[in-house]
Amino acid sequence: MFPFSRGIPPREAIPAQELAAQAAAVLAEQPDDVFQYAPIGNHTGDLALREELAKLHTADPERIFVTNGSLQALDLLAAHLLRDTGPDVYVEAPTYDRAVQIFERHGARVTGIPLRHDGLDLDVLRERLAERTPAFLYVIPDFQNPSGVTTSEDKRRALVGLAEEHGFVIVEDIPYRELRFEGTAPTPLAELSPGGRVLTVGSLSKILSPGLRVGYVIAEPHTVTALAALAEGTYLSPAPLLQAVAARSLAAGLAASNIERAVRFLKPRHDAAVAAVRRHLGEDALIAVPEGGYYVSVHLPVPTDEKTFLAAAKKDGVLLTRGSAFYPGSAAPPAGTVFLRLPFQALTPEEFAAGVERLAAVTARLA
């Protein structure tokens, strides 16, 4: 079987033994803290953890709000941002499917703006903005899930300019940002707009451990307070034990060393995956050459509909996520193609190449 279906970190990119040692130290030294409730009343997360996260982003700890993974950050932000404004949310098409589901659960009307190899199609975005101003624009600007696209510096500046001009908020979701294999990192959107118009959603899932379930929002203090009130009304706080383990692990430099290790481990997989896609599926199918992260993706011309293609691929042992699921509403891949997200992080170069070779064979057979 060739599982191209999930973007979870490979075992080699989680420093399990080192995390276990930090957890043991927390249990030995702080049992009274971690087995008690966290304080209530605008509690925004474990202070030591917020201080460590603030260092990662050169931000003020007052501007950090800790959540149970970044999906919960998206959930609370959607509740907060959609409460007082209209239902419109603009997203990249394709985009992270779970985010769309969360926004829709909060009553959002989600519109997909086509994503090009270097970020959103700004002409289409301007057309949509001429019709309606969204409550927020959700973007994954670095090594996007699912496409692997990184938004260029120019487009980042343009997005921030449009947000100022039209008065909407940008939510930038950056779980993969640290996993860069080549090129230089463009400026984070939040740095281009220091006035609070950009809210950053971060996560330790891809740089340290998804099991810690540590996500966070970086925002103005009034937004942080509003999110804290929403959190307190539902689950009080993230688990103190996990927050303490995360704080201690960050203080011990585990994220920094693990990022280095993960990049060293993932880069050969990335290089081999891009080469295999070019060889078996063709340069034209490639949406972008990812400079980091987990995903390479294609718009693959196929002679059938998506359902038939996925069923045929599955019969040949290639498991794929339904590409159309990454397109919200009426957005869709170009006519005559299917969108395929091909996560390379969890497959060896040989497995990946054999998987895409089979995809090429399936396409040829269906023709």
Closest approach, Cβ 165 to ligand PLP, in A, equals 26
| Max Cα distance, the chain (Å) | 66
b/e burial code for range 333-343 (CB count within 10 A of at least 16 → b)? beeebbbbbbb
Q: How far is the CB of 364 from ligand PLP (least distance, A)?
A: 32
For tokens 């293609």, what's the residue? Answer: 309
Query: What are the residue ranges of helices labelled H in 9-121?
Result: 16-29, 31-34, 47-57, 69-83, 97-105
Q: Which of 15, 69, 112, 186 binds ligand PLP (CB under 6 A)?
A: 69
In the complex, least distance from residue 183 CB atom to ligand PLP, rounded to whole angstroms? 19
Q: Is 173 in the site for ligand PLP (CB under 6 A)?
A: yes
**Is residue 292 a contact residue for ligand PLP (CB under 6 A)?**
no
Would you say the C-alpha torsion 218, 6, 103, 118 has a positive or negative sign? positive
Residue 271 CA, distance from chain mean position: 21
Among 175, 188, 290, 355, binds ligand PLP (CB under 6 A): 175
Strand partners, 199: 171
How open is the CA angle 185-353-92, to the nearest 5 degrees? 40
Q: Which is nearer to ligand PLP, 52 or 173 (CB)?
A: 173
Residue 177 Cβ vs ligand PLP, minimum distance, rounded to whole Å: 10
Q: Which is nearer to ligand PLP, 96 or 168 (CB)?
A: 96
7 in contact with ligand PLP (CB under 6 A) = yes
Residue facing ligand PLP at closest CB distance: 69
Among 44, 70, 111, 297, binds ligand PLP (CB under 6 A): 70
Among 10, 210, 211, 221, interactor with ligand PLP by CB under 6 A: 210
Q: By rule CB under 6 A, what string of x and - marks binding of each residue 134-153 to ligand PLP? A: ------x----x--------
Under a CB-based contact definition with an 8 Å cutoff, are residues 111 and 134 in contact?
Answer: yes
Q: Which of 150, 151, 200, 203 binds ligand PLP (CB under 6 A)?
A: 203
Q: What is the 3-state secondary structure (H, E, C) of 190-208?
A: HHHCCCCCEEEEEECCCCC
Question: Which stretch in 65-73, 225-233, 249-257, 275-283 sits in contact with ligand PLP by CB under 6 A?
Answer: 65-73
Give min distance, CB of 214 to ligand PLP, in A. Answer: 7
Rounded Cα distance between 60 and 54, Å, is 6
Residue 249: which H helix or E strand, with range? Answer: helix 240-251
β-strands 198-203, 169-173 pairing: parallel
Considering only the stretches 9-17, 42-50, 163-171, 202-210, report the one whose residues sit in contact with ligand PLP under the rule CB under 6 A. 202-210
Q: State the Cα torsion 280-282-287-289 to the nearest 10°.
A: 70
> Applying CB under 6 A, which part among 32-40, 47-55, 64-72, 83-91 lies near ligand PLP?
64-72
Binding site residues, ligand PLP, CB under 6 A: 7, 69-71, 96, 140, 145, 173, 175, 203, 205, 210, 215
